Amino acid sequence: MLEHKDIVEEIKVIVFRLVDEEYGVEVAQVRSIEKMQNITRVPRTPEFVKGVINLRGVVTPIIDLKTRFDLGVEEYTDSTRIIIVAVDDMEVGLIVDAANDVIDIAVNSIELPPAVVGGIKANYLRGVAKLEDRLLILLNLDKVLSQEEIQAMSTLER
C-alpha cells in the first residue's frame, strides 16, 4: 500500500521512436498525432523544415527530427507519424519514425542529460528517464527550435 507521503509527482509523456532510440515529449505540449501526409515544400527554409501541411484549415510547418538531429535520412513508412506540438503559441509538426504509447514518468526518475545522447546535443534535451528496462530521452521543444527559427516558421503559417 502506498502511504500518502509516498505519492510521486509524475508527468505524462508521448513516446516516439527515431532510428533505434525512444524519445518522449510531454502530453501537455502535444495537440495531435497524424499519419504521414503530403507536405508542401517551402523554398529557402532549412533542410530539416520539410514544408507545411493544411491540417483542419491550419497551415502547420513540419520538421523532420532525424534531419534536425543529424540522424540520417530514411524513407517514410506506414508507421511514420507527425506529432503536432505547441511551441511558443504556434503549432509545429514533428516527423518521427513511430509514436508508440503514452506513459507516466516519475519526475524523480529524470536525470540531466549527458553532453551528447545518441548524437544529439544536450541543449535539445530536457533529460533522460530511466525506466525499468529502457532509457527514454525527453526533448526540450523550446530548444529544438530556436527563437529565430520559430519566428521564421510563424511566417510560413500566414
Q: What is the CATH number of the domain that holds 63?
A: 2.40.50.180
Q: For 6-150, where are the E strands, in sequence order?
A: 10-18, 21-26, 30-35, 49-55, 58-64, 81-87, 90-96, 98-106, 110-111, 116-117, 120-121, 125-130, 135-139
Using the predicted structure, report yes or no on whether residue 46 has a pLDDT greater than 80: yes
Closest CA to 96 of 57, 118, 68: 68
- Residue 41 banded pLDDT, cuts 50, 70, 90: very high
Using the predicted structure, report yes or no on whether residue 148 has a pLDDT greater than 90: no
Residue 138 sits in which domain range?
Answer: 4-157
pLDDT score recorded for residue 140? 87
DSSP assigned state of 4: G
- Residue 119 banded pLDDT, cuts 50, 70, 90: low
Q: How many structural domains is the chain composed of?
A: 1
